[in-house]
Each structure stands twice: as C-alpha cells, then as structure tokens.
Structure 1
C-alpha cells in the first residue's frame, strides 16, 4: 500500500478548509508537526473538523500533512505511520505509540503544499513588499553583494553536496539556511549565514572586525571524533579543532578561515583530515534530520537555498573539479 500526501505550513491558519478546497476526499491520515519538533498522527473521515479541534488544544502546530484514504481500513496504516514517525521524532500520541507495524507494507510520501494567509480583518493582510519573499530577497541581495559571497557560496555548496542526504527534498523541513541571521553579539561581529540540520546549526559563516580589518571565518559541527584533538590541529592556525556541547548533541567543531577552507577544497592546501570531517559531518546531519522536523523553518531563505543547491551541483561535475585542482597541492 502506498500513500502520497502533501505537507502545509499552517502556523497562521485556524482552519485548513482553504488549503484542501481542491481535495476530493477529506478522509484519511494526517500528521501534525509542532514547534518543538514533536509530531502527532491521527485518522479522520473529515480532517478539516479534526484539525480545528486540534488547533483549539494546541497552539504550537506548525505543519499539517494529509494522506487521503477515500476508502478502506485506516487503523493499520495509521499504526504504521505512527511507528514510522516515532522512529524519527517524539510522538504526542499515547494510545498507539510503540505498536508494531501493520501486516501490509506502507510507503508514505509527502510534497510541500502552499499556504496563504487570508485574514478577515483587512489590517492583518499581507501587503505587497511585506511578504516573506520580499524580506528574503532583501537579505539575500545584501549577502550576495559581499565580495566574499562567491567563495562562500561554493564552500556551502560543497558542504551540502557531501553531507546532506537528498538536500533538495529535505530543505525547509529537515534542514534550513538562514541569511544574515540576527545575533546577540557586538556590532563588530556579523553572522553571514547559518545552515541547520534539524534543530542544530552545523555550518556557520561569520565576520569579525579585528584591528580595523574584516575577517571571514566559519565553523562546521560534526559528531565527536574518536582521536586526540591535538593531532588534528594546524600549527599555523589555519584551522582549529575543538570540543563543543549543545543541548541536542555533543560535537567536534572545526573552525576555518574562509581562505583556508577554499584552499583545502581547491587542492592548494594539504588537509589530511578531510574524509574524517565529511564522514562525521554526514553522521551528525543524518542523526539530527532523523529526529524530525526543524523548528527553524520560518527562517529558511528560499532564494539563498536555491543558489546554494545550484552551487552544490558543481561538486558532482568532474570537468569543473578538474579545473579548480589544476594548481596542485602544497604541504604545510
């Protein structure tokens, strides 16, 4: 049995009637995503009325997935969806958690739907120039004007290509990239972008003004490496490897200057730990993404993400890679 559904952003909606107006059947399975990354799975012969009751109970619903099942049994696929959801996220269901999978194989596929906020009060409407796309475009344009952006774009493209599974289809829901995110730091510090897997930042680029000079640095978080960190350091300080701790995970943090990571990927600076970094970065990203949806979806900059995804395609192009490695490799 294969079920195909759609996922919608419902943070501004009290009813889903408007987004299901073209759906011939309102009977089926549904999955709610919450701001804290948890989920709830249910079934209903009328998901519109069921969602309304859930909204009255929970104010922190951010996504709604609907899998139409016009006829047939709903119990077995519901238990299967609960089990599949429970393996990747905290599930708010109580009655059917930890139930075994049903007898039939069920495959669930979701695609992103489009939600529009249609308020009754005119003053609450979204005006031209106030929409999310307008705000995203302004920030993206500001970032893209920086002289460092072209190099940074290629570096993040490499990171996406090497360490994110199915990056195009998992963007916004399982990973996000924010553009010029705000930070509670001095004015001399500016975060350029932050890529998060699940609910943890895994690649951050930032600038600091030091003695009147602007320096661009970045860090990559990975799963903890099982070696002495002193053996990974660069005596010239072009990269630093250190321990890090977040509420979601312990990490190894790799810090680079923009120029050093560019030289490493171009093959002009020897870096013997590249495979270790990539493998551990992938393991952390997958672990975080399998925990469920991200709570940072509202900060995802679509324009920046599409530009970075386009850049990631270069890293699968042998002709392009051959061109950037013509300079050879140097020692420390």
Structure 2
C-alpha cells in the first residue's frame, strides 16, 4: 500500500514542525556510505525517517544513526531514502512521538513498532506467521483449537517461574479461570502455540499491585498487558478480569456505550491510556463465567484480535523472563472432556463456566430426551441471552412436564458492572442514575449495594432511608451495613449500641470494624485489648490499624517499631503514616525533616498534614502561614484545626496566641 503524497512531502511537513533543526538527506545507494555522509564530528544523535519504495515510512530515534541504519538494512531490503535531523539526546522521545503523530494525521502509513496505532507495515512477525496467515486468521471463524504446532521451551525460564506457577495452581479460583483463559488465547491470539514466548507471555501471580490488588495472572503482548485477573487484597475470593481491546472496532459495533451496557450489564467499559498503543478500550467483568460471556458479546473478540495482532507486530515479548510455561502447558493443550457424562450434566458444567453456546446445546439435547429440568435451564439461559420468546416456549415445556424452578432475575451475574457504574455515577453527581443502578444490583443479589445505597441516601440527608438500607445490608450478611449503622449510633453518642454494631460487623466479616472497637477501648483505658484489635485489623491489611500501632509504639519510645508501622501504613496507601513519621522527626528536633513529611501528607489531602504544618509555623511565630494551613485543614474536613492549634500553644506557654486561635475557632 502506498500513500498518495509524494515521498518528499513528509520532509516538508517535519521541517515545518522543526524550523530550528536542519535536515540532511542521506542517499542509501551509490558509492558513498551512510557513515561517509553522516560524519561523527557533526553528530549522529537525532531523529531519522526511512522512506520505502512502496511509499511507507519509518520514524525512529538513534544515538548513532549510522549503526541504527545498518540494523534496519538487515530487516528491510526496500529502503529508498534516509532523512536525518540532529536532536539532543534528552529530546529524542518528544521529537519521535511528535513526528509519528503528525505523519499519521496526514495519512502516511508507518512501519513503526511503538507509538503508531492500527495495522502496521512490515514486521519481523512475518518470519513467524506469514502476512497471508495473519490476514486469514484475522477474518477466520472463532475456534477453541489453539493449533498443533510444536511449542518452544526454555528450561531456565520454566524453572525460574515454577514456584509462582505452583502458587497460582494452589488458588481455588484457577479451576474456573483456566477454561476462560484457554478460550481467550485460542480466540484472540494468532497461532498462540507458535507465537508463545517470542510474542506473548503469561505471568503467574506477578508482583504488580500486590499490596492492594494482587493478580492471579497477566497476559502481555509485546509491552501491553492485554488481560489480567485480580481481586482486592481483602476480597481474595473474587476474580475480576480486565480485558483490553481495540476501541475503534468496539465503537463500530457499539457507538453508544449505553447500548453495550443494555446488552451486557455485567461489563464496565473505560478508555485505557497507554503510551505504547493509543485507542485502547478496557472491559472489566467479575468472574470467569462473565468473562466467557464477554467474549461472546458482538465485536469483543474481533476487537481483541485487532489489538492483539497490532501488538505482536510491534515487536518481541518484553516480559519473557516471567513467562509461565507451566500455565501454558495447561492452557495450550486441548482439554480432556469426559464424554461419558449425560448431556444435562455437561450442560450444567458449561453453564457454570460461561460457555453458554455449549450449555444451550446440551440443555436442548437433554430436554428433547425428556428432562424437564433441562428445558427449564434452557429457558433460563435464553432469558439471559435476551431471547424471551424462545425462553417462554422452554419454560412452558418444563412446567407442562411438572418442573417449576426459580427463574433468574434480569440482572443475574451483572452485580459487578452495576456496582461499579453506580459508584461512577455517584462520583459524577448523577444521584438518580446511581440509585437506580444500586437498586438493580440489590435485585441481582448484592448485599454490598444496600450499604452503598445507604451512603448515597445519607449524603442526601435521608437519614431514615440510609438506616433502613444499612439494616438490610447487615441482615443480609454484609458487614458494611452494620459498620455504617454503628457509625451513625456513634455520632449520636450511643457508644454502647455503636460498639455492639461494630462487633456485628466483625462477625459478618468486616474486620475494619476492629479498629473502631479498639479506639473505644482506648478511651476506656483498655489499652491491651485495643492493641490486640489493632493487630488483628493490621493482619487483615487495614492500613489505619498500622498507623495506630505506630502511635502505640511511639508512646512506648520504641522508635524502630513505630517507624516500621508508619512505613507499612504508607506502603498500603494511608498518609497518616507520613504524619506519624513527621512527629517522630519533630520530637528529635529535625524540624526540616518533619516539615517535609507533613507537606507530603498535606499534598495528598491529609488534614493531619495541614494541622501539623500549622503547628510548626505557629511555633515559629509565622501566624500568617499557620492560619493558612488551619484553613486548609478545615477545608480538608477537620473542623477542629483552630482549636487544636490553640490547645497546643496554650500547652507550650503562649496563652495570648492560643486565645487568638480559640477566637478563630469560635468564628
């Protein structure tokens, strides 16, 4: 494919963008070599553009353009011309990206492998999978067959990652996850057995976000994570699949995201911003069953194929050191299926895994063989697939033969998508949409949705409605309901009932309530009991508990333990730890170090950071800054900042200054 513009037009375009930089045309054929034309004394660091005989271009950066050109000549036999702009080393990235985007905007076809989007030109993938095979694969029917090519193996990499493979396989979630990942590889990666390790890799239990959202596995093509499975640290029973696909392909099928949500309410869609590949759409669902269903949604597999082919054409797999050959042994070999099982059981198995076309087939076989439950299950499945007319027929057959089951609700399996969209709507201020989504999530069986709905109602001033929602959440078995109800009782001054509700929250599984039980115990002087509860909460990875343990250690003058707990709180995302470290430094007389930590906390929006900065400046008699930081603390949600500063100054022996801040507090 060639561009309509003449080969020289790209030179004029870039020269216009960079008037401060001279361009050098370098002949690539003839008696003079590139090295003879681009002299070392003049500088060889800069941006170059290769022109090919078919009109395509390649934009690159090089510290030494001569050696880089020699590398290209080994790959490309059709280089027609080279143009070179001398650019300082520190500016190479910006100039390269600027050139690529400008040329793409003008319609030039690039063979680049990093910043360009869409189908690329020549690629060394062509030596592994021919261009004809790539085109055939891109338009071929979806198949669960991953191919029968001989797979590559690397003993050292296999051995190095075997421990992580064993950790992954010890996770009970893997039973459901493996079939879903097997289908993803077979459907969306070209010749996955042939391109394994060289072009794509899978990492078992990688360290990415391990302290917050630890992953079960990650699939990477070239340098882009196209699929990963994770769960919040405190909810490791969950499995959330994050899939990246080509946005333009999805928009052809679903121009309006609301239509996608209406067709498949379990999904959450959001734009992914990646330097290596523009135009990426992220699709998230919870559970392997929903991920299998997602791959069946119109356009999804096509969009995943489009992105994946683009990525493996960009270059070799960059995460090869973490590749799990053990996982691929399970994923790329055809699964053994017990064909002796009766169709009903095979249908139930396929249904549980999310392989709905297969489940539909076996349910139909069993129903036609006289199994009324199979007819009902088929009706239920057709309801889920929005085929109400056919569903009614099979429901009727089941009831006619005496089987009356409980039908799934219209939002069966959609809880994650509904909850996440509800949270986004609430953050965007669209309260009515958030309420509707939470109510639908409640109907789908979510007990957490009651708690989220209660928060929304409480913010709106509907105290009675909020309490009702919290009560229902707690009674349905979700600890957050009891926790939020306890917070209301605590604010009302009913400490006894609040503590009882906090204990109910713990019993229901919300261990964060241990922190508040501990704080109440501290107020009563039950320090040992409080510390024990803080330690239980810290073991469950609640960072505020680590901060409180740091405070206890600081009061005991155990600086080593205090620093350990504060740093752990910071590592887990709690900026109170910065305040604690600052107070340790201030006690040691290191006011500059203390100020730096308080400022970090304040920059993160922590009221304690502002208050401690105010106190620091008040002691330096810089009232203007002290008052400013107090105002910041109040704005950040700490209304007692002025009073606390007054108390501190009074204790330090400055009663007149203290009185000034008490008056500000009263105002």
TM-score (ref. length: structure 1): 0.55
Equivalent residue number for residue 189 of structure 1:
213
Q: Does 1:198 align with 2:226?
A: no
Checking the alignment, whether the CA contact within 8 Å between 1:153 and 1:311 is kept in structure 2 is no
In the TM superposition, what whole-angstrom CA distance separates every residue of 1:256-302 from its partner, at most 9, and x where no partner exists?
1115425x54xxxxx69623100000000000011121111111111
By percentage of residues, which structure has more strand?
Answer: 1
Residue deviations 1:111-139 (CA, integer Å, cap 9, x gap): 988889xxxxxxxxxxxxxx543332221
Residue 69 of structure 2: aligned partner: 94
Whether 1:246 and 2:271 are equivalent positions in the alignment is no
| Residues 152 and 196, structure 2, Cα contact 8 Å, conserved in 1 | no
- Please give the secondary structure, in 1, of the residue aligned with 2:232: strand
Partner of 1:175: 200
> Is contact 1:175-1:197 (8 Å) kept?
yes
Are residues 1:298 and 2:326 paired?
no
Give the equivalent residue in structure 2 for 1:160: 185
Give how far 1:206 is off.
0.5
Distance 1:324 1:308 in 2: 21
Give the secondary structure class of the aligned counterpart of 1:233: helix
The alignment partner of 1:94 has SS state of: helix
Write the distance in 2 (CA, Å) between the matches of 1:304 and 1:278.
22
Q: Which residue matches 1:275?
A: 298
C-alpha distance in 2, partners of 1:215/1:297? 28
Q: Corresponding residue for 1:256?
A: 285
Q: 2:174 aligned with 1:145, yes or no? A: no
Return closer, same or farther for 1:133/1:114 CA change in 2, 3 Å cut-off: closer
CA displacement, residues 51-94 of structure 1 (integer Å, 9 cap, x when unaligned): xxxxxxxxxxxxxxxxxxxxxxxxxxxxxxx99xx999979741
Corresponding residue for residue 19 of structure 1? none
Q: Name the structure 2 match of 1:217.
A: 240
Mapped partners of 2:313, 2:327: distance in 1: 24
- Cα shift at 1:308: 1.2
Q: Check whether the contact 1:89–1:290 (CA below 8 A) recurs between aligned residues.
A: no
CA distance in 2, matches of 1:87, 1:161: 33
Query: TM-score normalized by structure 2?
Result: 0.29
Contact 1:238 1:260 in 2 (8 A): no
User: Whole-Å Cα distance in 2 between the matches of residues 311 and 88 of structure 1?
Assistant: 41
Q: Structure 1 residues 89, 170: CA separation in 2 closer, same or farther (over 3 Å shift)?
A: farther
Change (3 A) 1:284 1:259: closer
Give the aligned length: 219
Distance 1:209 1:257, change over 3 A: same
- 2:151, 2:196 within 8 Å by CA — same for their partners in 1? no
SS of structure 2 residue aligned to 1:256: strand
Deviation for aligned residue 1:231: 2.2
| Structure 1 position 229 matched with structure 2 position 254 | no
The structure whose RCO (Cα within 8 Å, separation 6+) is larger is 1
Contact 1:229 1:242 in 2 (8 A): no
CA distance in 2, matches of 1:142, 1:194: 14
1:215 Cα deviation (Å)?
Answer: 1.8
Matches within 5 A, 1:15-164: 93-95=68-70, 96=73, 99-100=77-78, 108=127, 132-164=157-189
Q: Please give the alpha-carbon distance, in whole angstroms, between the structure 1 residues aligned to 2:68 and 2:315.
A: 15
SS at match of 1:195: strand
